[in-house]
Structure 1
Amino acid sequence: MRLIKSIAAMLALVTSFAGHAGGSPEDIQQLRDLLQPITSLSAQFKQQITDADGFEIQASEGLFQIAQPNKLRWVVAQPMPQQVISDGVTLWLFDPDLEQVVIQPFDANIESTPAILFSGDLERLDRAYFIQQLSAGVFTLTPEQGGSLFAGLEIGFADGVPSSIALTDGLGQVTRITFTEVAYNPVLADELFVFEIPADVDVIRND
């Protein structure tokens, strides 16, 4: 359930956000220059969740794919298969072990989630976060107002391509996601972002 929640937090629609973020214009522009060209990504991922003391709570790995506007496919291969898929309108959460799929609309609070990084709406990103470049290709984003699902976010780039994301929540729990075998702006079929519900599974609709 923790994994599903952390990935579901990456899916939402774009809504407006009051205020304007801080950070130097140079740091903001550097991040914009790296994010602006991204229209799609496909990568293998490894995710590790640790508590405030640094002890591992959970680890997983699988396939991550995104395409604008607002499409995401997150397929966990190990240790327990799970899928989180969105076509930008509907979100499917599939747990084969439970033989259950949860269907719900896209959430409506993208500024409080990491999804804003790949939403393509960089103006809203600028308004919602204090942006700081820690080192070459490494940026931190701190929410300017309350209500965010995380206290801080760090994104790293290698050769201009996203290589890692780390999220810290209000209790100090850290979710680290590392990307490998990254395909930059590949052509991804729309069908990848639509979930075909298997027969004989429980369907839960959260409208």
Structure 2
Amino acid sequence: MILPTLDSHHPGSAPLRSAGQQAETLLDWLGREGIGSLALLHGTSMGAEIALAAAARAAVPITRCVFDDGPFFRFPRPVRAVMAWKFWSIARRCRGKAPQAVMQDALPRRLSGDDPEQFRALWGAVCEVSGYLTAEDCRAMAGICYDGALPAFSEEQQRRFTFLLSEGEPAHTSKKRLLRTYPAASYIDRPGNSHCGFQVSDPEGCAAFLKTLIV
């Protein structure tokens, strides 16, 4: 199993540029490590776009792919510019602050849904990585979230895909686009959860679910 992460989110990492770039980095690493197959490729949030791009490029067989609350949108450039500014604003606002202080802001509260307290650890991670992000990184993040390509896959490949979608989360609105492109994939709506709420609120249950897909 492998879960893609993003550059620019830890000390000494390369700048973040695109989902395709991240996918190529991941696949290059698999090749160097001699990994010839994957039981599970699990992408979370923006990592879901990276996982999808990697699945389209991978030369190694992948048994199952899970895409958890990925924002699979394609919006015009002005929208992406606005969101890049919002991401950069959040990054600057989170620097040096405790999660509780950040969670009082309107956008974090909206992303945290009805039970923001369960996302304290997630916002703690945002506060931690915000110090490494640049404005250019935030523009790349907006591109990954809001200019996402949906590569073509065969019906057989689509049957290996599972999309986890939290009903109370904005990314859920990209489901129609996904259904049109990948009608043979599996879709699981989880009511009452916000962004990546399954793994955040019930990590053991999420891990058990992932295990059922590959055992």
Quick check: TM above 0.5? Answer: no
| TM-score after normalising by structure 1 | 0.31
| TM-score after normalising by structure 2 | 0.30
Instruction: Name the structure, 1 or 2, with higher relative contact order (CA <8 Å, separation 6+).
Output: 1
Name the structure where strand makes up a greater proportion of residues: 1
